[in-house]
A and B are shown apart, each in its own frame.
Chain A
Amino acid sequence: MASGNLWQLFKNVTEQGAKQLATVIDRNGSNYTVTMQGGGNTIVQSSAAYELQSKVFIRDGQIVSEAPDLPFVEIEV
Chain B
Amino acid sequence: MSDALRLMLDRYISVQPKANKLSLPLDRNLGDITRYTYVFADSLPLRMERLAVVRPSANVLTLSIRQPLGTVAPKLYFISSSLPLPLSVLFSDQPAPNELPLNMSRRLGTVVGVPIAPPVDNEDVALAVNATADMSPTASAAVTIDADNDVGVAIVAVANMAPTASALISAEQIAVAIEIAATATLNPTASATASYDSNNPSVGMLNVSSNIQDAKLQGVGRQSGFENNANLAKSVSADWQQSKIISTNNQAQFESNEQLISSRQLSFEQSKLIGDSSKQGAEYQTFIASKSTLKTENAKRISHSNWYSFEAMAKRQIDRTLGAEYAELITDRLDTSSDYNRLTALSYDLRHEFARLPYSKLRYVPPPLSQTVILKEQVIEGWECGTGALRHYVYNDELALPMHRRIADRGISSSLAMPLSMPRGVLELSAEDADAMETRPCKRKTLGVNTTLDVVTCKPKMFGKASSVAVNAQSMINATAWLELLIGEKGEAYNKGVIFVTNSVSLVRSDDGREIKMLGFSVGIDSNSYTWSFSATVPLSELSKVNTAYEQQIGVEFTCNGNLWRFILDSCDDSVSFGESSLTIKGKSRAMLLAHPYATHRGFKYDTAMSARQIAEDELNRFGVPSGFTLDWQLAGVNGWNIPANTYSYSNKTPINSLQWIAEAAGGFINAHMSEDIIHVLAHYPIPSWEWAAQTPSIELPMSLITSRSRGRVNKPAYNGVTIYGENDGGIAALIKRTGTSGGYQPPMVTSDLMTDQDAAISRGKMILSDTGDIGNIDISMPLVADVGVLLPSTLVGVNDGESWIGKVSGTTITGRLNSNRALEIEQVAGFERHFDKESV
Please measure, in the bound complex, the distance between the C-alpha atom of A73 and the C-alpha atom of B735, giving whole angstroms: 6
- Is there contact, CB below 8 Å, between A76 and B712? no
Q: Indicate if the CB atoms of A2 and B777 lie closer than 8 Å.
A: yes
Check B526–A1 contact: CB distance below 8 A. yes
Asked whether A49 is an interface residue with its Cβ less than 8 Å from the other chain, the reply is no
Known: A1-B829, A19-B751. Is A74-B731 also a contact (CB below 8 A)?
Answer: no
Whether B751 and A74, one on each chain, are in contact in the complex, defined by CB atoms closer than 8 angstroms, is no
**B354 interfacial by beta-carbon distance below 8 Å:** no
By the criterion CB–CB under 8 Å, are B733 and A73 in contact? yes
Given contacts A57-B727, A68-B728, contact A73 B734 (CB under 8 A): yes
Cβ contact within 8 Å between A73 and B758? yes
Given contacts A2-B778, A7-B528, contact A74 B743 (CB under 8 A): yes
Closest to B730 in A: A68
| Chain A residue nearest to B766 in the complex (CB) | A77
User: What residues on B are CB-neighbors of A2 within 8 Å?
Assistant: 710-712, 777-779, 831
**Known A76-B737, A77-B738; contact A18-B748, beta-carbon cutoff 8 A:** yes
Judge whether A37 is part of the interface by a CB distance below 8 angstroms.
yes
Instruction: Give chain B residues whose Cβ lies under 8 Å from the Cβ of A18.
Output: 748-751
Determine if B725 and A1 form an interchain contact, defined as CB atoms under 8 angstroms apart: no
Which residue of chain B is the closest to A74 with respect to CB atoms? B735
Q: Is the CB of B813 within 8 A of A68?
A: no
Residue on A nearest B770 in the bound complex, by CB: A77
Say whether B729 faces chain A, with CB atoms less than 8 Å apart.
yes
Once the chains bind, are A75 and B728 in contact (CB under 8 Å)? no
When C-beta atoms are compared, the residue in chain A nearest to B722 turns out to be A77
Query: Does A4 touch B at the CB level, under 8 Å?
Result: yes
B529 touches A5 (CB 8 A): yes
Within 8 A of B (CB), among A60-76: 65, 67-68, 70-76
- Complexed CA–CA distance, A74 and B738 (Å): 10
Interface string of B703-735 (1 = CB under 8 A from A): 000000011100000000001011111011111
Q: Which residues of B contact A19 (CB under 8 A)?
A: 727, 749, 751
Given A70-B726, A77-B762, CB of A5 within 8 Å of CB of B528: yes
Q: Is the CB of B688 within 8 A of A77?
A: yes
Question: Interface code B516-545, partner A: CB below 8 Å = 1, 0 otherwise?
Answer: 000000000011110000000000000000
Beta-carbon contact of B777 and A1 below 8 Å: yes
Assuming the contacts A3-B712, A77-B739, asked whether A70 and B732 have C-beta atoms less than 8 A apart, the reply is yes
Residues in B whose Cβ lies below 8 Å from that of A5:
526-529, 811
- Say what secondary structure dominates the interface of chain A: loop
Report the nearest A residue to B740, measured CB to CB. A76
- Interface residue B761 (Cβ < 8 Å from any Cβ of A): yes
In Å, the complex CA distance between A13 and B299 comes to 102
Query: Count of B residues near A, CB < 8 Å?
Result: 46
Of the candidates A20, A67, A71, the one whose C-beta lies within 8 Å of that of B727 is A67
Given contacts A73-B758, A74-B734, is CB(A1)–CB(B749) below 8 Å?
Answer: no
Does B215 sit at the interface, judged by CB under 8 A?
A: no
A8 within 8 A of B: yes
Out of B746, B758, B811, B829, which one reaches A75, CB within 8 Å? Answer: B758
Nearest CB of A to B646, in Å: 13
Question: Is B188 part of the binding interface, using a Cβ–Cβ cutoff of 8 Å?
Answer: no
Q: Give B777's nearest chain A residue, CB to CB.
A: A2
B749 and A75 within 8 A (CB): no
Known pairs A1-B830, A2-B712, A67-B727; A77 contacts B736 (CB<8 A): yes
Smallest CB separation, B538 vs chain A (Å): 25
A70–B762 CB distance below 8 A:
no
B778 pairs with A8, CB closer than 8 A: no
| A75 and B748 contact, CB distance less than 8 A | no
CA distance A4 to B688 in the complex (A): 20
Closest to B829 in A: A1
Q: Which residues of B contact A24 (CB under 8 A)?
A: none
B765 at the interface (CB under 8 A from A): yes
Does A21 belong to the interface (CB within 8 Å)? yes
Cα distance, A26 to B811, chains bound together (Å): 50
Residues of the B chain whose Cβ atoms lie less than 8 Å from the Cβ of A75: 734-737, 758, 761-762, 765
Point out residues on A near B: beta carbons under 8 Å.
Answer: 1-5, 7-8, 18-21, 37-38, 57, 65, 67-68, 70-77
20 pairs of residues in contact across A and B, judged by CB atoms under 8 Å: A1-B779, A1-B830, A2-B777, A2-B778, A5-B811, A8-B528, A20-B749, A21-B725, A38-B746, A57-B751, A65-B727, A67-B727, A68-B726, A70-B725, A72-B735, A73-B732, A73-B761, A74-B737, A75-B765, A77-B762
Closest 10 CB pairs of A and B: A1-B831, A5-B528, A70-B733, A2-B712, A2-B777, A8-B528, A76-B739, A18-B748, A68-B729, A19-B751
